[in-house]
Amino acid sequence: MFKARDVNTGVDTRCTQKQSANPVAPEQYDYCVAIVQTENRRFNAMVKVLEGVKERDAELDKAMIARKKIQKDEPGKLAANNNRILALQSQLQNDIQNAQTLMNAYDSAIRTLKDDQILAGNRALDGNSTLLGDVTEGVALKIALKAARTRDR
C-alpha cells in the first residue's frame, strides 16, 4: 500500500526557475511550489481514502463470514447481519463519492494554479519591445514552455 508523502516532496527537483533573470520567475516558482504541494496533498488524501476503503472492505468480509455462521432458526441475527452489511456498503459508497468530490476539488485547484503560472509567464511577454524586453521575453517564453511541459507530464 502507498504511504503518505511530505507535502514538499519534489519541490527541489520540479521547481527550478527561482534563480532566473526573468522578472516573473519568483512568482512562477511560488506557483510551482503550490502546485507540487497541492499534488502531494491530493496524493495523501487518496492514500487516506484507500486506507479507509481497505478497512471497510475488511469489516464487510467479517460480516459476510459471520453471516455464514448464522443458523436458519436465528432470524434476528440474520436481520442484524443484513443491516450491518447494508450499513457498511452504504458507508463505502459514501466514502467513494466523497473521495471523488475531494479529488475533483484538488484537480480544479491544480489546474487553476497551472493556468495562473502560465499567465504570469505571459505577462512577462506582453509589452516588451526593447532589447532587454526581448531577452526577458525569451526567458519568460522558455520558462512558460517548461511550465507547460511540466504540466503535461
Is there a domain that residue 15 lies in? Answer: no
Cα distances (angstroms) measured from residue 71 to each of 75, 77, 78, 88, 131: 8, 9, 8, 22, 88
Cβ atoms of residues 113 and 34 within 8 Å:
yes
Specify the number of domains making up the chain. 1
Q: What is the pTM of this model?
A: 0.72
- Of 9, 39, 44, 15, whose CA–CA distance to 108 is shortest? 39
For residue 21, give the C-alpha cell. Answer: 533573470
Four-residue CA torsion sign, 138, 141, 145, 146: positive
Is there a domain that residue 10 lies in? Answer: no
Is there a domain that residue 29 lies in? Answer: yes
Is there a domain that residue 16 lies in? Answer: no
| CA 3 to chain centroid | 14
Cβ atoms of residues 120 and 31 within 8 Å:
yes
Is there a domain that residue 87 lies in? Answer: yes
Cβ atoms of residues 147 and 117 within 8 Å:
yes
- 38-70, pLDDT tens digit by residue? 999 999 999 999 999 999 999 999 999 999 999
- 7-44, pLDDT tens digit by residue? 999 999 998 866 666 777 888 889 999 999 999 999 99
Is 64 in a helix, a strand, or coil?
A: helix
Is there a domain that residue 13 lies in? Answer: no
| CA 119 to chain centroid | 22
Domain span at residue 60 reads 24-152
Is there a domain that residue 9 lies in? Answer: no
Residue 150: is its pLDDT beyond 70? Answer: no
Is there a domain that residue 111 lies in? Answer: yes
For residue 90, give the C-alpha cell. Answer: 452504504
Confidence category of residue 2, pLDDT binned at 50, 70, 90: confident
